[in-house]
Amino acid sequence: MSHSAEPIPMTARRSGPLKGEAKVPGDKSISHRALILGALSVGETHITGLLEGQDVLDTAKAMQAFGAQVERLGTGEWKVNGVGVGGFAEPEGVIDCGNSGTGVRLIMGAMATTPVTATFTGDASLSRRPMGRVTDPLELFGCEVTAREGKRLPVTIKGAAEPVPVRYKTPVASAQIKSAVLLAGLNAPGETVVIESEPTRDHTERMLAGFGATITTEVTDEGRVITLKGRPELVPQPVAVPRDPSSAAFPVAAALIVPGSEIRVPGVSRNPTRDGLYVTLLEMGADITFENPREEGGEPVADLLVRHGPLKGVTVPPERAASMIDEFPILSVIAAFAEGTTLMQGVHELRVKESDRIAAMVAGLRANGASVEDTDDTMTVQGTGGLSGGATAVTHLDHRIAMSFLVGGLASEQPISVDDGSPIATSFPDFLPLMTGLGGQIG
């Protein structure tokens, strides 16, 4: 479902010290995958901690449309009765993935090797994003694809009746491309191989292994070579979704820049393929400790203790980009509050997210008094220890742009507004109560 057409303007103002516990929602990437793998298993998958953001709700609805039974049992607690690999039914209506790149791309992969036809749509943001990066490799399995000009949505896929396995080297670092190919490979006889030159988030590989698929990852000169044996019977597993490090980034950032703050963020995933922001913040001198490290639901997690303190600018190397790809908008705000230059390299993929995130951050930060420069592949922020604020940032249907500027407004001299905070509901529906509960002035 596309989110409400009505924009919701929001404003954040300078706040006193943030204190307390920030229980951020379940991981968005893992939530999508839990629903999709649940739908591809035979029997019942029990999920706890599922993110109930619009992106994930749209994936839940899509899995129902393909024939799985999906039921909400309580807050974050869901069960899925799956149809098995190759068991997807043909949906009666169009599959509307709303704002979600992960949803649409992974579901296209999951259905591409089953002989059913489906049409995918999304909101204005998703309809601008490139789908060829996924439909090109899916065609190699034998499915037929029709798309709008530029390989954009709406896209119709006629799934392959006799799929063949594929060996595919991803042209850009993207877990969505890797995952789409692996999910398609599930119903292709033989071995499907994905090669990625730079590691990206590995939740699909972890969860497929957890559900009983034979999947191996080998590190070679070419990069990570992931091999999946097709036609497994996936066995439902309970999935305990850890809290999302990409959502945690917002209260963490707020505590780092608002003087006197001290907050705790419990149970956050510390998967090394998602950890780049935290590595970077420690290099900037951030006061973050990772307490009680443990394993939950097959993922490493820890409780974060975050205190305000001085920060210095750093250079983020290009090879770290994939492990923090969704965190550059909020890092660019933190960088404005640091002393010195922060250079972010290898960030061209930000141009094809829910918005062109480099353009959106450069425009909004400049309007609010920061000195920022960009090239196609880099963003540079001259940190001055603060931000003047006083302007409205345009969010372009992008949740991370909205949350980044609202966090900045908690510590800037003048308030910062966003033209539309409604997309926040895609990934962090309780952002507002959570931030105000810590003492943040946002409304």
Ligand X SMILES: C=C(OP(=O)(O)O)C(=O)O
Q: Which residues are annotated as a binding site for 3-phosphoshikimate?
A: 28-29, 33, 174, 176, 326, 353
Give residue 346's Cα distance to chain centre.
Answer: 18
Kindly report the three-state secondary structure assignment for every residue of 121-164.
ECCHHHHHCCCHHHHHHHHCCCCEEEEECCCEEEEEEECCCCCC
Min CB(53)–ligand X separation in Å: 9
Decide: 440 and 18 in contact? Cβ < 8 Å.
Answer: yes
- Tokens 């990206």 belong to 200
Burial code (b: 16+ CB inside 10 Å, e: under 16) for 365-388 equals bebbbbebebeebbbbbbbeebbe
**Does an H or E element contain 11, and which?**
strand 10-13
Stretch that binds ligand X, among 94-102, 202-210, 214-222, 381-389 (CB under 6 A): 94-102
Nearest to 368 by CA among 404, 422, 317, 319: 404
The interface mask with ligand X, positions 219-238, x = CB under 6 A, is --------------------
> Contact between 41 and ligand X (CB under 6 A)?
no
The interface mask with ligand X, positions 289-328, x = CB under 6 A, is -------------------------------------x--
DSSP state of 411: T
Cα–Cα distance measured from residue 352 to residue 366, given in angstroms and rounded to the nearest whole number: 21
Helix (H, G, I), strand (E, B) or coil at 328: helix
Stretch that binds ligand X, among 95-103, 166-174, 252-260, 270-278 (CB under 6 A): 95-103
400 binds, among ligand X, ligand S3P, none (CB under 5 to 8 A by kind): ligand X
Min CB(177)–ligand X separation in Å: 11
Min CB(248)–ligand X separation in Å: 13
Q: What type of residue is 327? A: E
Min CB(196)–ligand S3P separation in Å: 10
403 binds, among ligand S3P, ligand X, none (CB under 5 to 8 A by kind): none
> Contact between 396 and ligand X (CB under 6 A)?
no
> Contact between 427 and ligand X (CB under 6 A)?
yes
| Known binding-site positions for phosphoenolpyruvate | 28, 101, 129, 176, 357, 400
Q: What is the DSSP secondary-structure string of 265-290?
A: EEEEE--GGG-HHHHHHHHTT-EEEE
Helix (H, G, I), strand (E, B) or coil at 42: strand
Peptide bond into 154 cis (omega under 30): yes
Cα–Cα distance measured from residue 418 to residue 416, given in angstroms and rounded to the nearest whole number: 7
271 binds, among ligand X, ligand S3P, none (CB under 5 to 8 A by kind): none
Q: How many CB atoms lie within 10 A of CB 155?
A: 23
For ligand S3P, the closer of residues 106 and 370 by Cβ is 106
Catalytic positions:
326
The interface mask with ligand X, positions 348-387, x = CB under 6 A, is -----xx---------------------------------
Chain residues binding ligand S3P by CB under 6 A are: 29, 101-102, 174-176, 179, 201, 325-326, 349
377 binds, among ligand S3P, ligand X, none (CB under 5 to 8 A by kind): none
Would you state the torsion angle of the CA atoms of residues 259, 265, 268, 274, taken in this order, to the nearest 10 degrees?
-10
For ligand S3P, the closer of residues 53 and 409 by Cβ is 53
For ligand X, the closer of residues 3 and 308 by Cβ is 3
The interface mask with ligand X, positions 149-188, x = CB under 6 A, is ----------------------------------------
For ligand S3P, the closer of residues 29 and 404 by Cβ is 29
Radius of gyration of the chain (CA): 21
| Nearest residue to ligand X, by Cβ distance, number only | 101
For ligand S3P, the closer of residues 252 and 322 by Cβ is 322
Q: What is the DSSP secondary-structure string of 287-319?
A: EEEEEEEEEETTEEEEEEEEE----B--EEPGG
427 binds, among ligand S3P, ligand X, none (CB under 5 to 8 A by kind): ligand X
> Contact between 102 and ligand X (CB under 6 A)?
yes
Tokens, residue 227: 């091999």
> Contact between 244 and ligand X (CB under 6 A)?
no
* Binding residue (CB under 6 A) for ligand X from 101, 236, 267, 439: 101
- Tokens 């709303």 belong to 98
Binding site for ligand X (CB under 6 A): 100-102, 326, 353-354, 400, 427
